[in-house]
Amino acid sequence: MQELKSMKAIITGGSSGIGQAIAVAYASEGAEVVISYQKNKAGAEKTIAAIQAFNGKAKAIPADLNKTEDLHNLVQDASKFLGSIDILVNNAGTLTRHDDFLDIPLDAFEKIQSINLKAPFFLTQQVATVMRQQDRGGSIINISSISAKIISPGLTHYECSKAALNMLTKASASALAKYKIRVNAIAPGLIETNINQTQREANPQAWNKRTAKIPLNRAGKPEDITPMAIMLASKKSSWITGSIITIDGGSDVYVPT
């Protein structure tokens, strides 16, 4: 049985990593999917091709999530293609790495907040408005991070954005419950994606040091996130809202020896 049969989903940042994996997984469960991408057109086309390989319906829409106009157009274009919206996954995110807190420039802080927080805020408002008009509820899923509560050198701007995203999840869950719109977040741990590819390749020693702290003895893969993303979008989670669900291989319970 397909868990998301005939549901309509928007997934930001669907050209690689977790977003790509969720898009393909949703389509395999019967959902029709729109993904956004900014620069990685080849990756977006790969996502669509993977979905179309099993006759799924999908479309990729270019959007700069720093621009309010692009965010608005994404929702409008997706609504026209899908006919309605049942699911929003605020997945797109970015980070920059710095040696020290004092080295983080203000423009980096502002860009991180724009993509990781402002875009999900605006899209949640826009999509929730569509869901309210449809009058059948819906599910909004934010992709957060364990960085919302675990400190790492030179990532303060990123950590702040994810901590704020967690609060957005809880506040919007409270505000939208009266419309039967559920809002939850998934907080992944260390996942092998494009966002940390440079570190994996250029500094394997640092990467290995990070993975050594994971009790299940490996970094996660995007596919480790998809089962929870499917459940939170499905009727099986009809009494779950305002939750931040950690998927991190046990990193949250790591105790140094």
- Nearby residues of 229 by Cβ (< 8 Å), 6 or more positions away: 22, 25, 26, 89, 141, 186
CB count in 10 Å sphere of residue 44: 26
For residue 115, what is the DSSP state? I
Contact 78, 12 (CB under 8 A): no
One-letter amino acid at 92 equals A
The answer to whether 145 and 204 are in contact (CB under 8 A) is no
Contacts of 155 (CB under 8 A, 6+ apart): 95, 97, 98, 147
Residue 243: active-site member = no
Report strand pairing: 181-188 vs 244-247: parallel
Give me the amino acid identity at 39: K
Give the burial string for 236-251 (b: 16+ CB within 10 Å, else e): ebeeebbebbbbbbeb
- Which position among 162, 172, 234, 251 bears the catalytic label? 162
Give me the catalytic one of 158, 161, 234, 251: 158
Phi, psi of 174 (to 5 degrees): -65, -45
Going through 149-225 in order, the beta strands assigned E by DSSP cover: 181-188
Determine the residue type at 168.
Answer: L
158 flagged as catalytic = yes
Catalytic residue among 139, 145, 234, 237: 145
CA distance 32 to 30: 7
Among this protein's residues, is 46 annotated catalytic?
A: no
Catalytic residue set: 145, 158, 162
